[in-house]
Amino acid sequence: MRLSGLRLRVADTEKLAAFYTGVLGMSVKQQGVSLRVGYPGQDADLLLMPGGGGYTHDTGQRYWKIGITVPDVDLAAAFLRGKGIEVSDPKQFLDIGYMCHLKDPEGFVIELLQHDFEGNRPENAADPDAPFAEACIGQITLRTGYIAAEDAFCRAQGMRLLSMQDVAPYGFDLHFYAFTDDVPPNADLWAVENREWLWKRAYTTLEFQHVAGARFANVPDYRGLEVEGLAAPTRDAFGDPVNPG
């Protein structure tokens, strides 16, 4: 099994697909009335479904963002700015990762996350002319106030918890799950050592931003996840759909 898709309802599938292909280096194919965009490999695709519009990123919502992992965030940010895309300044966020952020044309947030922490990136890690050549949708991020319920659901589907990350200065912690037999290098899942290892995985992890006891709103334009190998449609701990991929 694998986490194979994120379904988003959007206002203009053609225009948004052009952004993901022409700017972020994904490929596209038709799927009924929807368009599927993504990178080659085992990571998840984005299924852009018609009928949406008016999405606003809001801290009170269940759906949060996608993370795209790349070898060199500085090159990726410079490349995007050269195309007129507004991108935050890359920086090391605590002991989590070296990253920056942007929004797609419909307001969905994208995090660019480097394989290595600031100062650890190898020389010539990426081609300046093709900074997304080795990109991967590394994370799909949801917000939750009840991580025990999310954990029980993920484990019941056969997912493994790969990392937990304390972000106490901002009032939350992070939990990463994936369909994999990979074992992190440090058995202590809170260990910082596991993080750069995690950002180099070639598959998509399901990330929960956990704010203990918080309640989050449904996001109408978030239409759930797809899991390749899932026998029948189900719903996650929040009630959002999880469909066979």
Q: Which residues of the chain have pLDDT under 70?
A: none
Instruction: Look up tokens 């599927």; give the residue.
Output: 36
What amino acid is encoded at 16 in this protein?
A: L
pTM: 0.97
pLDDT per residue over 120-150, tens digit each?
999 999 999 999 999 999 999 999 999 999 9
Residue 27: strand pairing partners: 38
What are the structure tokens assigned to 72, written together?
Answer: 């060199």
CA gap 224, 5 in Å, rounded: 9
Predicted local distance difference test score (pLDDT) of residue 53:
87
pLDDT per residue over 192-224, tens digit each?
999 999 999 999 999 999 999 999 999 999 999
Containing 176, the helix (H) or strand (E) segment is strand 172-178
CA gap 219, 79 in Å, rounded: 31
Are 159 and 108 spatial neighbours (Cβ–Cβ below 8 Å)? Answer: no
Q: Is 1 helix (H, G, I), strand (E, B) or coil?
A: coil
Instruction: Give the up-direction half-sphere exposure of residue 40: CA atoms within 13 A in the CB hemisphere.
Output: 2
How large is the C-alpha radius of gyration of the chain? 17
Q: Which of 3.10.180.10, 3.40.50.2300, 3.30.565.10, 3.40.50.720 is the CATH number of 2-244?
A: 3.10.180.10
